[in-house]
Structure 1
Amino acid sequence: MLKKFLSGWKPSDAATYRRTYERFGGSVCAHPSILAHLDERGPEAVRFWHKEVDGEIVGAYFADGKDVIAHPASNVPVIFENIILPIDPEHRTWLPAKSKRLSGRHQGQFMNFAYGAVNPRAVCLVKGDFSSKTDKKRRAELNKFLNEGGEVRDIEGFSDRDLGEIYAELFTRRWHGELPCQRPEDLASFIGAIRPMMFGHILLYKGRPCAYDLIYAAECPRWIYFDDHNGGMDPDLNHFGLGSILLWLNIHAAKAHCATRDKEMIFSLGSANARWSYKKRWGDEHGLGRSVI
């Protein structure tokens, strides 16, 4: 508490945090609607703090009871990584909280956070452009899929329950129980709580869903942040390259969406990890910051 007081941070509330987020923006995991829903499901609510300079709020952040920038809710389809907090990028300060997954956008802004060798963690963000060769290959894969009974639909045509059931079934089929999945009803509840943030397409084969990535979008004043949480697909149809087709479609849709609003696209594929080396075909690794004091 002393560090907060000395660095100018004051206890705040969800309404103030939301207004600050609407002004400065942030990542998906820092979105006030995400935090509000997790508050309802978690063992305890997060705490909010804000800072003022000359009577004007220059930033806000959230933390759990141990001052970690994350939510204590468990078994939820949200990962707190590449965290962008709603803080004026021109304001350099001490951030009295802990994290190992702060976005590189905050590099040099917080005196008690470090990047580089002290923190090997990284996130994979989609590249700005792909080669004409890559686009041609993906388009050919898509056409083959469509010509053989495939279909592409926007998620807007599906209910919250539909999306929860489709994702749970395809995720389970893809990972064969290696990774845990939330219950369909819990997914539907989460999706319903943040429905305006849901984004993307579903692939169908002969009328049945066969591939779906759970993607959230947070629109901010200067950018739109897309978070590709994870995906599910029918392994019996791997010969179509469903994962590549779907990701290519979703990335292009995200770019078009940002272009119409004249905003930067930030599209996260999650943690950079040797196990998921395929991400390097789509994006570049960006180092994350960690608290050192």
Structure 2
Amino acid sequence: MLSYWRAWRESGWVPIDATVYTQAWQQFGGSVATHPEVVERLAGLVGIPVRYLGWFVDGELCAAMPTWGRHVALSKDVLKREGKRGLLDLGNAEIILPVAEDAQVRLRHHARYVSELNAPNITGLAEQPEGLALAREPEDYSKKFRYNQRRDQRLLEEAGGIIRPMLELSASEQATIYADLFQRRWNFEAPGKARLSEVFSLLREFMTGSLIYLNDEPVAIQILYRVEAPKWVSLEYINGGVDPQNREFSPGSVLSFVNTQAAWEQARAVGKPLRYSFGRADREYKDRWCHRVPVYRV
């Protein structure tokens, strides 16, 4: 019975190796959550092997995906089932599978937050009730909004605030600060707290953004991962933390402004559109920074 369901689920797909999957991603593009190195390193961390599948037409590879059983790899459902949900956190990351622009493929593996970029080329998708929150372009903010953000940044810096690149810190320093500020902000532990240092070390080459200090103490941090696909830049805002005792200076809002502005500048420097995802469009503050786009599931 198991082999029957796998044959049905994988109909049209054939096994490929990690090297071929990497070639597909580099050719067709993808997102942070489907990047070959992100998948391989995080799957290795949690000890769940990846099965790579490819879709061929006339001998030419036109789509690929990494899988965990009946799910696309790095699935929260699989982590939960295996008792490993607390080992890592990718938030509600956008899933962009490597698929050729003119391809038509069928997807029967469970997945959530499948990108609108994949929707024209994949059958079997259903639109999710909630959308995905993607950061607006800088020009999409009102003049008043941009003025207020610059004013808040100036006031913060005049009060002794310092903006530092995340990569000035070691993985263990990042983990300690993030766990502390997340706990202060939300009053519960950061997801994956026990292995944060390992995850940050494994994904260090993809980490981007800054954090904010005030009076030599960290007061705001955001975990951001960035990958560059052939035709776009994918950036995931996984989660963040802020010290609520410094709310008068709005360090969380200042950090969002600094990080989004820098990300747009970097993307435009390489001539590619930016998909800066805040994850599920489920909070009011995201509407200030983002526009909602459709997202799909299987």
TM-score (norm 2): 0.89
The 8 Å contact of residues 29 and 79 in structure 1, kept in 2 or not, is answered as no
> Which amino acid is 1:272 matched to?
A
Q: Which of 114, 126, 140 is equivalent to 1:102?
A: 114
Aligned to 1:114: 126
Q: Which of 64, 68, 93 is equivalent to 2:105?
A: 93
Aligned to 2:82: none
The 8 Å contact of residues 106 and 123 in structure 2, kept in 1 or not, is answered as yes
The structure-2 alpha-carbon separation of the partners of 1:221 and 1:82, relative to structure 1 and needing over 3 Å to count, comes to same
The 8 Å contact of residues 43 and 74 in structure 2, kept in 1 or not, is answered as no
The structure-2 alpha-carbon separation of the partners of 1:217 and 1:277, relative to structure 1 and needing over 3 Å to count, comes to same
Q: How does 1:159-178 map onto structure 2 within 5 Å?
A: 159-177=170-188
How far did 1:260 drift?
1.1
Q: How does 1:138-287 map onto structure 2 within 5 Å?
A: 138-177=149-188, 180-183=190-193, 186-273=195-282, 276-287=283-294
The structure-2 alpha-carbon separation of the partners of 1:80 and 1:141, relative to structure 1 and needing over 3 Å to count, comes to closer
Unaligned runs of 5+ in 1: none
The 8 Å contact of residues 172 and 181 in structure 1, kept in 2 or not, is answered as no
Aligned to 2:67: 63
In the alignment of these two chains, the number of paired residues is: 283
Which deviations, in whole Å up to 9, do the C-alpha atoms of 1:108-155 show, x marking residues without a partner?
Answer: 32222133xxx3032111112322221111000000000011111111
**Partner SS for 2:277:** strand
Q: Which moved more, 1:54-63 or 1:70-79?
A: 70-79
The 8 Å contact of residues 171 and 181 in structure 1, kept in 2 or not, is answered as no
Aligned to 2:38: 34
> Which amino acid is 2:102 matched to?
E
**Partner SS for 1:243:** helix
**Partner SS for 2:122:** coil
Instruction: Tell me the distance in 1 between the aligned counterparts of 2:193 and 2:107.
Output: 36
Aligned to 2:3: none
How far did 1:227 drift?
0.5
Instruction: Tell me the distance in 2 between the aligned counterparts of 1:182 and 1:92.
Output: 37
Aligned to 2:136: 127
The 8 Å contact of residues 18 and 32 in structure 1, kept in 2 or not, is answered as yes
Unaligned runs of 5+ in 2: 1-5, 80-84
Instruction: Tell me the distance in 2 between the aligned counterparts of 1:102 and 1:182.
Output: 23
> Which amino acid is 1:167 matched to?
Y
**Partner SS for 2:164:** strand
Which deviations, in whole Å up to 9, do the C-alpha atoms of 1:195-244 show, x marking residues without a partner?
Answer: 11000001000111110000000111111111011101111001111111
**Partner SS for 1:104:** coil
The 8 Å contact of residues 149 and 253 in structure 2, kept in 1 or not, is answered as yes
How far did 1:66 drift?
2.5
Moved over 4 A (4+): none
How far did 1:101 drift?
2.2
Instruction: Tell me the distance in 2 between the aligned counterparts of 1:249 and 1:193.
Output: 25
Instruction: Tell me the distance in 2 between the aligned counterparts of 1:203 and 1:244.
Output: 11
Aligned to 1:288: 295
The 8 Å contact of residues 30 and 96 in structure 2, kept in 1 or not, is answered as yes
How far did 1:80 drift?
4.8
TM-score (norm 1): 0.91
